[in-house]
Amino acid sequence: MNQPPAVPPPPRLELPGDTGLIRPFEDTDAQDLLELRHRNRDYFRPYEPSSVVIPATIEEQLDRLESERLDWEQGRGYVFGIFRRGDGTLVGRIALSHVARAAWQNAVLGYFVDENQTRKGFATEAARLTLRFAFEHAGLHRVQAGVMPRNVRSIRVLQKVGMRDEGTALRYLEINGAWEDHTIFAITREEWKD
């Protein structure tokens, strides 16, 4: 059986925006990311899958970053930190995960922003930059995201970057111990406007 040719990994690059920028995490970001995750544990809990395991130690966080680098090299996912321009403060994380190649060329978009940095445009800008990466650098054709209908702010982010509502998937993910419906948003390369 013939295998499709492997897609070379896209470059690990920084993409700047007006107020923030996204770039792949480095080991020097591990402590800040660990602190952000622990500081926001209760804030993120109502929105995160029950299976999410937050690293407890800096060693575990470094292992996670290494695993994400391997995913990048093997084309399974692309993870970025969201940083404030100027002082370089880490304000969140955004990722393209579950990358599928062959005839689909699809990935799933997911993100979070520190509770203290919300409503400043970081998520919208990071989502826009990540879509640019997906279509211009990673060679993807489609990006999708699932969001609970009650997560109005996240829905607004997806709408602002041009993603369309494709309908509701019932009992889609287990979130904080309950099977939650999710509205699926998507965009293809043909629809994307930078």
Written as tens digits, the pLDDT of the chain (194 aa) is 444 556 789 999 999 999 999 999 999 999 999 999 999 999 999 999 988 899 999 999 999 999 999 999 999 999 999 999 999 999 999 999 999 999 999 999 999 999 999 999 999 999 999 999 999 999 999 999 999 999 999 999 999 999 999 999 999 999 988 999 999 999 999 999 98
50 φ/ψ angles, rounded to the nearest 5 degrees: -60, -25
The pLDDT score that the predictor gives to residue 1 is: 45
Interacting residues of 105 by C-beta distance below 8 A, sequence separation 6+: 139, 140, 141, 142
**Chain CA centroid to CA 39, Å:** 19
The radius of gyration of the chain from alpha carbons, rounded to an integer in Å, stands at: 16
Per CATH, which fold does 15-188 belong to?
Aminopeptidase (3.40.630)
Model confidence, pTM:
0.95
The structure tokens listed for 65 are: 């970053």
Q: So what's the pLDDT on residue 175?
A: 94
CA distance readout (Å), 37 to 48, 60, 89, 142, 156: 12, 13, 14, 29, 23
What is the model's pLDDT at position 138? 97
| Longest distance between any two alpha carbons in the chain, whole Å | 52
Provide the 10 A C-beta neighbour count for residue 144. Answer: 17
Query: What confidence score (pLDDT) does residue 6 get?
Result: 67
CA dihedral of 133, 180, 45, 176, whole degrees rounded to 10: -130
What tokens appear for 158 in the block?
Answer: 């997806």
Residues 6+ apart with CB under 8 A from 97: 76, 77, 79, 107, 108, 110
Eight-class DSSP state of 187: E
- According to the model, what pLDDT value does residue 50 have? 83
